[in-house]
Structure 1
Amino acid sequence: MKMIVKIAPTDETVRKSGLTDYLFHNEHIMYTEVLPRLVSLQKAAGVPEEEHLRYAKCYGSLNEAPNEVIILEDLKESGHIMLDKYEPLQHDAILNGTKSFAIFHSLSHVLKNKEPETFNELGSKLRHAWDLMCSSPEYIKSFAGLDDAVQSIVEDETHKKVVKNRISNMFKITAKLAKEENTKYSVIQHGDSWTNNILFKHVDSRVGPAVMIDYQASRKNNPMMDLLYFIFLCTDYETRSKHFYNWLDYYHSEFDKSLSYFGLRANDIYPRDQLDADVKKYGELVFSIALMASNLTERDVNETKELINNMEHSGIGELMATMGSTRMTGETLKRAKNRIEGLIATYTDFGMLDHFENFD
């Protein structure tokens, strides 16, 4: 039997810079407490097994710094595959992923409705690593270098103005959203829902049900952060243009379907007009995250290895600094340029740029 063993780094400098204590703690809580509790709700309510939230079995977890370790099921053994991060996800994959997020988020509301104290307790155990980064001058400085890198990728002067300071302003946007968050709609989110963190069951040469992995960034947050992150980091302009609003409809319908097993309704828990408002509200932060991610995820294997090696030896701050100073070339540059220009085009088409704050 094959297993996945995740072992935390022990170097103190790397642990501090990479927020290892927080990230491994979160994943420990998710696999040992949150995910089992959510599925137990489904089992108790008689939800059909094919509608259950899927996650890798956890065979053991040690949450003692600096020796954290998590042992997980290797989902590849059951026919799950990781899709090519360089290729945008197609419509069927997005539908499967969207359904998984709808079920996952709905179960937070079920738990909140039936056992509010348990929901609050579990939510309070998840640490907000991003908030820590927002208050750290070291992180703010290291992220700022990425603005120039992104501006150098796009050629159109209008596009340069759109992306200007968007990455370094992420921390201001995050702080603003935290102050304005309506916890009535908050769920326990995945937090890092891009292509390499979602596996798909391979069924008859087709992409089937999705399973999320890597819950290190999980926390209580608005559900649209997961869904928009997933859509804008994993799809291209053409597919979004055709299906974006269909995906939102599908999310809400699957959210409602999951709630219905517990006698709850989406229109009471998370109305569609609230979802639409949150798309506009959280779209700005996702735009900034997508710009930042394009500088890492579009790089080729050799470039990525060098960047990850820097992170493993020096932490996230060094990774961001290296990303900002290492210019892209060739196919990497072409992929990143297409990704960023497609992102700008989608936000322009849907009027989402109109809701951006001006922090300058």
Structure 2
Amino acid sequence: MAQYKFEGDFASFTDHQLEFISKVILEQDIKVKKAVFTVVGQPGDNFVGHVKRLNIEGENGNLNMFIKVAASSELARAATNADITFRNEHIMYTEILPKLVQLQKAAGVPEEDLLKHAKCYGSLYEPPNETLILEDLNDSGYKMLNKHETLSNKCVRGIIKNFALLHSLSHVFKNKYPEKYVQITDQMSEVWTTIFNEERFGGQAKFAEAEILSILDDDTYKDLIENKLSDFMYLLPKIIKQEGKKHLVIQQGDAWTNNFMFKIGDDSIETLMIDYQASNNGSPVVDLLFMMLNCTDHATRSKYYPEWMDYYHSEFDRSLSNFGLKASFIYPRDQLDVDLKRYAKAMMYLCITFNTILMRDPKEAAEIMDIMKNVAVDKIAAVLESQELATATRNRIRNKTMGIIDTYKQFGLL
């Protein structure tokens, strides 16, 4: 047990997790006087585990930490694939991210161009007590934006630059240390085909499709959804299986608004990725399409989509140039276009389904989380049918669905 008394909201933590947190705190040498856990965000901001802020007062100063722990119940762990997701993030924070930044520093990349990530104070991967302890980015002026509002062009460009850095440095890592790259990435797992498969998600997929069809008014949109929404469960594994290894990179993997933080100044916006639980060795376009469809609306995409893809590739090339590499050889622009179209349909249906959850208000999201974590998989669909959506939620889901389809029509992604 911890050597001093924790205060606040930590009932969901095990003794082993508290012991690990205490050990990490003691390593900071601030002579703790008080350590208080508080709730972070609203229900629905995090679907995988429990997230708390830890405010520490010490004789040698104060320190705030961001604590993420896995769910403990068997149902909740199964629903969130805790073993996989926390292993992915543990590997990213303890091995991959430090290695990528080390490569940049060794090449003399300026400080302002380094891949930025939250400082990791400690990571425990011992199922079922997985625990990740990060710096509290609020202290550095970063904040989370509203998941129900479209991100601005500047925010999107910040995310795209992060993707370009992560993906390009993956190639550098693979180029310099091929055996180490394979060794590390082979320990990571692709999350979405595990979560969304026929056995686990078949019933919910049919419910999600019926829910969306009941919200849509226009038959031209309904025709693209009816008897098709669950297709991504079959398309995505097939595409992944056929994917050649040459262009694979380390993905962020779960690019929705709450997995980024932004420091917004008068003339600039800094962006940080904060969640790597779905990270794995995969196609770069999964990050691009996932972010674009989940974080923006059709009006914004309609104006900036081609520019975003050009910007991604130019930043990808600029990062590679620090290591004497060229995008034209590593990942040509026309290959990016081919891959965007290859993944387009699967990602469209995945993101439409995903947004039936993301677009719920906090109360509805809390209900969904309780259902996911406390109801057996084969009974979830039946329980969901009893949930009544608020009018605002129905409107958000309708607008998201129609907007995604409109974007695909405009840019020939269907």
What TM-score does the superposition give when structure 2 sets the normalisation length? 0.81
**Which structure has the highest helix share of the two?**
1
Aligned to 1:125, the other structure's residue is in SS state coil
1:326-337 matches, cutoff 5 A: 326-337=387-398
The aligned counterpart of 2:137 is: 75
Rate the CA distance shift 1:246–1:322 in 2: closer, same or farther, 3 A. farther
Contact 2:185 2:280 in 1 (8 A): yes
- What's the counterpart of residue 343 of structure 1? 404
Q: Is contact 1:83-1:199 (8 Å) kept? A: yes
- Tell me the CA shift for residue 259 of structure 1: 0.4
Choose from 181, 185, 191 the match for 2:247: 185
Equivalent position SS for 2:374? helix
Aligned residue among 197, 205, 214 for 1:143: 205
Could you tell me how far 1:274 is from its partner in structure 2?
0.2
2:158 and 2:107 mapped to 1: Cα distance? 23
Query: Post-superposition shift, 1:133?
Result: 3.5
Select the residue among 5, 12, 21 that pairs with 2:83. 21
For 2:385 and 2:282, locate their aligned partners in 1 and report how far apart those are by CA, in whole Å: 28
More RCO (CA 8 Å, sep 6+)? 1
Determine helix, strand or coil for the equivalent of 2:294: helix
Change (3 A) 1:49 1:322: farther
Alignment partner, residue 230 of structure 2: 168
C-alpha change, 1:114 and 1:51, in structure 2 (3 Å) is same
Please say if 1:37 is aligned against 2:99. Answer: yes
> 1:110, CA displacement in angstroms?
0.5
* 2:318 alignment partner in structure 1: 257
Residue 69 of structure 1: CA displacement? 0.7
Aligned to 1:357: none
Query: Of the two, which has the highest radius of gyration?
Result: 2
Q: Percent identity?
A: 43
Counterpart in the other structure of 2:302: 241
Does 1:51 find its partner at 2:103? Answer: no
- 8 Å Cα contact 1:6-1:71 kept in structure 2: yes
Q: Which residue of 2 aligns with 1:209?
A: 270
* Cα shift at 1:165: 3.3
2:142, 2:294 → 1: CA distance? 21
Q: Quick one: which of 183, 189, 207 aligns to 1:121?
A: 183
Partner residue in 2 for 1:358 = none
**More displaced 10-residue stretch of structure 1: 77-86 or 124-133:** 124-133
Structure 2 SS opposite 1:81? coil
CA RMSD of aligned residues (A): 1.8
Aligned equivalent of 2:171: 109
C-alpha change, 1:350 and 1:325, in structure 2 (3 Å) is: farther
Matches within 5 A, 1:287-302: 287-302=348-363
Do the aligned partners of residues 268 and 217 (structure 1) sit closer, same or farther apart at CA in structure 2, a change above 3 Å counting?
Answer: same
Note the residue ranges of structure 1 that are not aligned, 5 or more in a row. Answer: 354-360
| Whole-angstrom CA distance in 2 between matches of 1:175 and 1:325 | 31
Letter in 2 for 1:107: L
Deviations, residues 35-75 of structure 1 (Å, cap 9, x unaligned): 11111100111111111111111101111111111111111
Deviations 1:93-133 (A, max 9, x none): 11111111101110000011111111111110112233334
In structure 1, what is the equivalent of residue 74 of structure 2?
12
Conserved 8 A contact 2:364-2:389:
no
Cα distance change on mapping 1:40 and 1:243 into 2, 3 Å: same
Q: How many angstroms does 1:5 deviate by?
A: 0.8
Q: Out of 263-272 and 163-172, give the one that drifted further.
A: 163-172
Whether contact under 8 Å (1:27, 1:214) holds in the other structure is yes
Partners of 1:348 and 1:104 in 2: CA distance: 30
Q: In 1, Cα distance between the equivalents of 2:89 and 2:175?
A: 24
Higher deviation after alignment, 265-274 or 320-329: 320-329
| Partner amino acid, structure 2, of 1:225 | V
Contact residue 8 and residue 24 of structure 1 kept, 8 A: yes
CA distance in 2: counterparts of 1:265 and 1:246, whole angstroms: 20
| In 2: Cα distance, 1:243 partner to 1:315 partner | 43
* 8 Å CA contact retained: 1:133, 1:140: no
Q: State whether residues 121 and 135 of structure 2, in contact with CA within 8 Å, keep that contact through their aligned partners in structure 1.
A: yes
Instruction: Tell me if structure 2 keeps the 8 A contact 1:15–1:315.
Output: no
2:369 to 290, 305, 308: 308
Cα displacement (A) at 1:169: 1.4
